[in-house]
Amino acid sequence: MRPAAGRVVRGAAAALRRCAPLLAVAVGLAACRGKPERGVVLTFPGSAVGAEARVLRTQLDRFMAGHPGIRVEQRVTPDAADQRHQLYVQWLNARAPEPDILQLDVIWTPEFAAAGWILPLDTLGADASPFFPNTVRADRWQGHLYALPWFVDMGLLYWRTDLMDRPPATFEALARDAARSQAGDSVPYGFVWQGARYEGLVTVFLEHLGGFGGRIMDDSGHVLVDSNAAVRALTWMRDAVWKQGIVPRAALTWQEEQTRFAFQNGQAALMRNWPYAYPLMEDSASSEVAGRFAAAVMPAAPGGTPTSALGGSQLAINARTRHPRAALELLRFLTAPRQMIERARVVGEYPTRRSLYAGDTLRGLLPIPPERARALIEHAVPRPVTPVYSQLSSLLQIQLHRALTRQAGPREALEKAARRMRALLERVGLAPGDTAGPAAGGGAEAAGGSADREAPRG
């Protein structure tokens, strides 16, 4: 799993003031859409190593063979998403017209859109209807579509098929199955998740929160992390560590890989993690649980909904590109069925087109049967779609971890997080009902400085 993180953008308020003319340019481009320009060069940033780099090179070569008037040059960028984000910010703050295409983490799209750094694709004629609606939700900002979902990640509940007959559907059943597995000396840990103070903790909380019927924010931007449902969810997480003892205290320092190793080495009955872990744990040469686990959606309490955190990657177009129509043609090509199926086969990435999960198109290409994978994707929920998500997440992480380490009670911690999150939104002009947009001199820097930290893919 490649880590991901957001580094806060300096000068976002000034960039936001440039957004209106950029929108006007994009609308003008839409009026004259047609075939892409000939004799153009597009730059596409991406990894230079591994299967993902090889399949991207293959697909770009295929695109160029079918579009002889367009050449695509790859620009090597770091695999670590926090480093990639920092590099993008440097390029885009400098108003560089390259790279033409941007590969965005799922939580970056509104940030880049509000800064005026990426084009509204709907004004260029992009169609988002074939994709899972929840993946598209993360790509919209203020009524416009700014990116196309390339591949999707979602949080999963891994469970040991040799220790239980079925995955737990409720938190009560999860606690019971975890405790039973521990009592039988089958495993030292009942349940493991990412509890370190970083973005991964927010995704774990989001899944528990949805399971108890709550949300971090509503669609209007109201902060809801101090709701009764949120308090119940965080209390359950804390008690799982300190009262029930099914989650090890060490997990409060763990990220994805420590969690995977615990489960892979046969030390845990249940694990919350991302799809990347599945094929690694099926390797019998390095995994103690190969052939003895499966994946499901996280459980829910009465009144809640089984919830997965949405992750994944999106493709957007630099607002200063010289070749917007050619760039859109490349986006359409890379998100077409053939390319998505190929990425599923070679890299194991989950396509974002709903139609591909019907029938046997993906059967055998992914570790999870396609009908099951589709159900898991449909349970995925985006994190709050806002330009200041990284800053909001940082505020929330602090209070979640304080509650889990018993430095504060769950209600006290969440009320403090909610107050600070609301104050942040008010300060940058994004509070519900504020139609003026971020205030001059506010922007990302005023929102609390750089969020210099590691976070999970998606």
CATH code (residue 38): 3.40.190.10
Q: Can you give the pLDDT at residue 154? A: 97
Integer Cα distance of 284 and 20 in angstroms: 55
Residue 242 lies in a domain: no
Q: What is the pLDDT of residues 275-316, one digit of tens each?
A: 999 999 999 999 999 999 999 999 999 999 999 999 999 999
Residue 62 lies in a domain: yes
Integer Cα distance of 343 and 350 in angstroms: 8
Which positions of the chain have pLDDT values less than 50? Answer: 1-34, 439-458
Q: Can you give the pLDDT at residue 437? A: 57
Q: Can you give the pLDDT at residue 36? A: 53
**How is 241-265 classified by DSSP, letter by letter?**
HHTS--S-GGGGG--HHHHHHHHHT
Domain assignment of residue 35, given as a range: 12-153+310-381
> Total domain count for the chain?
1
Reading the block at residue 441, the tokens are 């001199």
The whole-model pTM stands at 0.87
Residue 357 lies in a domain: yes
Q: Can you give the pLDDT at residue 81? A: 83
Sign, Cα dihedral of 111, 117, 123, 129: negative
Residue 314 lies in a domain: yes
Q: Can you give the pLDDT at residue 29? A: 41
Q: Can you give the pLDDT at residue 435? A: 55
Q: What is the pLDDT of residues 59-93, one digit of tens each?
A: 999 999 999 999 999 999 988 888 999 999 999 99
Residue 135 lies in a domain: yes
Residue 347 lies in a domain: yes
Residue 448 lies in a domain: no
Residue 210 lies in a domain: no
